[in-house]
Amino acid sequence: MSMNEQQSGQPQIPAPAQPSQWDSQENQRAQRNQDQQSPLPNMSRETSAHNQRIGRPQPSRSQGLDFIVQPDQQRYGQPVPSPQYGNPQYNAGTYGAGPYDSGQYGGGQYAAAPQYGYGQPYYPNPYGSSAPVGPSVPAYSYGPARSYQPQPQLQSQAQPQTYIPYWAAVPVQPIDLRKAWRTWRRKVTNRAMGLTLAYQGMMYVGAIAASIVALIAASVTGKQDLGTSWDGIISLVSVITAFGFLLLMRHRDIITREFWLGGSHVDTYGEPNQRGRISQYGGGRMRPLWFLAFIALGLGVQGVVTLVQLAFAMVGADLASPTSESINESAVTVSMWLYIGLVGPICEEVLFRGVLMKELKPLGRNFAIITSALAFGLFHDDVVQGTFAFLFGLILGFVAMEYSLIWSIALHVFNNAILSGVIDTWLAGYLDSTGYAIYSIALALIGVIGALIVFAFWGRGLRQYRRDNRSVSGTYAAWACPTFIIFVVINAVMAVLSFAAAMIG
C-alpha cells in the first residue's frame, strides 16, 4: 500500500518490508507527529512531495477540515524498541540523494538526525511541520575559472626614513617632604649668612685699603706713628665699603619705602619660592610708652653685663673687653663719633635686621630674630661686647620685626650715641674712678629694675608672642649650613684670641 492511499478515512502509515533500525525510529517519530498534529486543509504540492522524500505520511486533500486523527492502536500496545548504541547503519536505498531543485536557498531538505538516548518520550511540535517558504531557486552553478594575466612586479625602492623625535619618559621619583624641607631651610640660611659673611669680608677689604692709604699718607707727611687720629677714618671707610657692596646686592629691596617703614611688600630676593610673594615686615604703630619700655630693656641688658663684670672684678678676675677699651681710647675724634653713634648703627641695622632677618623670616619669626641676634653678637669679635650685642640684638630684632627698621635704628643710635657715647664719655671725664664706678652701678641697677617692671606689665604678651611664632621642629638645624659655620668659627676664634690677649696683658 502506498503512502498516499487512505483507509477508513484515516491516513495509514505503511511500514517497509524489512525496516532497519534507522527506519523504525523515523517511522515511529512520523507516527507520533501524525497522532498529535492536525493536517492543514490546503497543502502545497511541493510540501507533499517533500514529505514523501523524507518518509513522512501525507494526508489526503479529500479529508478537508473534518479530518480527525485517530490514535494508533499499536502505539500503546507495543513496547518501543530501545535504540541501539554505536554508529547507526544507513540504508542507502531508503535515503537516496534527493533532487536539488527545491528549498528556499537552493539546497535540499534533509531528515532529522537520529536520536540517541534511553527512550525518553518525544514532545511533538505544536505548530506542525514547516513548509519551505518562497519559490524554488535553482542551484547556482559556477562558471569556468577566470584567467588572469600576470602583472609585472614593481621593484621596491628604498625610502628615506623619517624619525619622529621621541623623548624618553623620565621616571617619576617620589618626593621626600622631610628631605625637601631640610634642603630648603639650609638653602635659605646659607644664602642669607653667605651675604653676611661677604659683608664682613668687604669690611676687612675696606679697612685694609684705608690702612694702606693711611700708611702712605703718614710716610709722605713724615709721621711714623698714626696714633688714634686715623681710627675713625679707617672704620668709616670699612663700613661704607661694606654697605656699598650690600646696596649693590640688595638694591631692589633696600631702596623701597617698606624696607624702612615696614608694611606689606613683594619679596625680590631669596629662594625661588620666596621671590614674588607678598609678605608683612613690620608696619606696627610705635607708641612713646612702648619705646620707653624698649629703652628700659636695653638698659637692663647693659646693667646685667655691668653687674657681672663687677662681680668678676670683686674676686680678682677682670672681664676685659678689648672692643670697649679701643672705642673709649679712640672716641676723641669726630670721625670716630660718627662711626660709633650714627654710621655704624645704621649699617649694622640694615644688614642684620633689614636684610638677614627679613630673608630668614620664612623659617619663622623667632628663628629669624634669634639667628640675626647671634650673628650680630659674633660680629663684634669680643666676648663681653658680643654677649651684650646678642641680648640687645633680641630687642632690636623684635622692634624691627613688629614695627619698622627705623625704630630699631633709633633705639640702636640712642644706646650707642647717648648712653654709651655722650653721657658715658662726659661722666668719665668729669668724675673720678670712684664716682664713675658708683655711676655705673647705679645705672645698672636702674636698668635691671626697669627691665623687671617691663616684664611685670608686658611679660605675658612677650611669652605669648614667643609661643605663637615658634618655628617648626628641626628649623635650627639650618645652622649647620656651610656659610653659618664658617661665620661662627671665624668670629668665635677672633673673639677668644682677643679676650685671651686682653686677659694676659
pLDDT tens digit sequence for 77-105: 445 454 444 444 444 444 444 444 444 44
Mean pLDDT comparison of 154-163, 271-280, 361-370, 431-440, highest-scoring range: 361-370
* Per-residue pLDDT tens over the stretch 334-345: 888 899 999 999
Instruction: Give the confidence band of 28 by pLDDT, cuts at 50, 70, 90.
Output: low
* Per-residue pLDDT tens over the stretch 423-469: 777 777 788 888 888 888 998 999 999 999 999 999 999 999 999 99
Retrieve residue 295's grid coordinates. Answer: 629703652
pLDDT > 70: what percent of the chain?
A: 64
DSSP state of 124: -
Q: Which long-range contacts (CB under 8 A, 24 or more apart) does 248-256 make?
A: 249/195, 249/198, 250/195, 250/355, 253/355, 253/358, 254/350, 254/354, 254/355
Over 80: is that where the pLDDT of 160 sits? no
Q: Please indicate whether residue 500 or residue 59 has the higher confidence score (pLDDT).
A: 500
Torsional sign, CA 431, 433, 435, 441: positive
Count of residues for the chain? 505
In degrees, to the nearest 5, what angle opens at C-alpha 11 toward C-alphas 6 and 12?
90
- Which residues lie closer than 8 Å to 362 by C-beta, 6 or more apart? 188, 270, 274, 279
Q: What is the rounded end-to-end Cα distance, in angstroms, of the chain?
A: 156
Q: State residue 46's pLDDT score.
A: 47
Q: Please indicate whether residue 170 or residue 127 has the higher confidence score (pLDDT).
A: 170
* Per-residue pLDDT tens over the stretch 218-248: 888 777 666 677 888 999 999 999 999 999 9
What's the CA gap between 276 and 253, in Å, rounded?
12
Q: What is the mean pLDDT of the chain?
A: 76
Number of H helices, E strands in the chain: 17, 4
* Per-residue pLDDT tens over the stretch 350-385: 999 999 999 999 999 999 999 999 999 999 999 999
Q: Please indicate whether residue 277 or residue 201 has the higher confidence score (pLDDT).
A: 201
CA distances from 51 to 45, 125, 267, 305 (A): 10, 16, 102, 131
DSSP state string for 219-280: HHHT-S--TTTTHHHHHHHHHHHHHHHHHHHSHHHHSSHHHHH-EEEE--SSSTTTTT-EEE
Over 50: is that where the pLDDT of 65 sits? no
Q: State residue 278's pLDDT score.
A: 78
Which of 45-49, 169-173, 333-337, 453-457 shows the lowest per-residue confidence on average (mean pLDDT)? 45-49
Q: Please indicate whether residue 124 or residue 397 has the higher confidence score (pLDDT).
A: 397
Residue 263, φ and ψ in degrees, nearest 5: 125, 180
Kindly report the number of other CB atoms within 10 A of residue 368's CB atom.
24
Retrieve residue 335's grid coordinates. Answer: 670721625
Rg (CA), the chain: 58
What's the CA gap between 405 and 258, in Å, rounded?
9
CA 115 to chain centre: 74
